[in-house]
Amino acid sequence: MPSRKVEAIARLLKEQILAGRYAPGSRLPTYDALMEQFGVTRPTVVRVLDTLREEGLLTVKGQRKVFVTQRFPHHDRYVWVTSEQPGSNEWSLFLAITHEVIERGETGITGQVSALVGVDGRANNPEYKQLCEFEARGSAAGLLLVNSAMIYLLPVLQKPGLPRVAIGAPLPHANLVALDFAGLIDRASARLLEKGRRIAVMSPHAPKLAAAQECLEGYGLHPDRVLTVHAAPIGCERLTELMFDRRSRPDAIFVMDDNLVPPLLAGLERAKVKAGEDVYVLAHCNWPRPLGMAEGVEHIGFDVREVLCAGKDLIDAQRAGAPCPSRLVPARFLGELTRPLSTATDAAVEEKTVHP
């Protein structure tokens, strides 16, 4: 643990660097000059500089040449935080695709975006310790927090600190980036009614099924022409096959959870029905990684890049002291994306990527 003297000098030198006394890329004074300035020994100066280097404020060239970094992490490092981790029951496609986009550097954010995954609040949890260090040192521009019961209870987030944005639902001391699910259902319902008059809606979530049925009926579709199917990924293939082994088979399907797309397509294949030709299929997706596009599925969903950029904008507004009301991210069809699909992997994710 650094001594109080090291911490105090490091804090003072950090303030001078961030205030512009030493410009980005400039060389710091020599060790001897720093020893004289602060009245300390050489080992103390070494520990001070090591502390600031760990924060990303300094770089070392050679043995004794110490320079201020060109870009401060305090200004352009954004940290995405989730308590879930790959393989857990709550590790959704939204989380998996967001994490993949961050790891591949495809967020569209100018600056550094890093991910802390599996943050659970235990003192020996490495990700939680790193989050605490970001807060204690102020060594990030802000936090992008994926709302969960665990994140809500993390001790380090109980007080105001770094600028914060909650993704999905409100959190204390954070602005909100919400997803417009009501708008998604409304726009999807309107598109479905352009494509068919007997519509099936599939989801593992009963409230979403009820909301979709209400919306479709609100547009004038008779209740007898709406089939709601409460389905999980396991069993969805067989349910889809049975749905087409009946006289009143649907001519349009709304898949409200992208986890259902692969088994739905397998069920259509078993029923010898082709998506996009024999039946219109509209599926929720997380752009830029839609599932089933090559198989004839159309998509509507939220772009995780747009979500991250909206969070970054709110963090920057907080840092500037500007008003930063909550942001509502709209659902988009392919032609409406603010950032196009640029590669083949954007259009079709291999299942092993999102289902490890």
> Is the confidence at residue 351, as pLDDT, over 50?
no
The residue among 233, 180, 244 whose CA lies nearest residue 202 is 233
pLDDT of 349 > 70? The answer is no
Closest CA to 290 of 279, 281, 299: 299
Query: Does residue 356 contact residue 86 with C-beta atoms inside 8 Å?
Result: yes
Tell the burial category of 283 from Cβ atoms under 10 Å away from its Cβ (0-12, 13-18, 19+).
buried
* The one-letter amino acid at 129: K
CA distances, 328 to each of 147, 149, 296, 311 (Å): 15, 21, 29, 11
Q: Is the pLDDT reported for residue 62 higher than 80?
A: no
pTM above 0.75, yes or no: yes
Per-residue model confidence (pLDDT) at position 355:
37
Mean pLDDT over the full length of the chain: 90
Mean pLDDT for the stretch of residues 270-287: 97
Question: Is residue 173 scored above 60 in pLDDT?
Answer: yes
In terms of Cα–Cα distance, which of 62, 43, 41, 47 is closest to 13? 47
Mean pLDDT (whole number) for 196-207:
96
Q: Where are the alpha helices (DSSP H) in the chain?
A: 4-18, 31-38, 42-54, 73-76, 93-103, 126-137, 149-153, 181-195, 206-218, 233-243, 261-270, 304-320, 344-347, 351-354
CA 30, chain centre distance (Å): 43
Q: What is the pLDDT of residues 289-315, one digit of tens each?
A: 999 999 999 999 999 999 999 999 999
> What whole-number distance in Å separates Cα of residue 251 and Cα of residue 230?
18
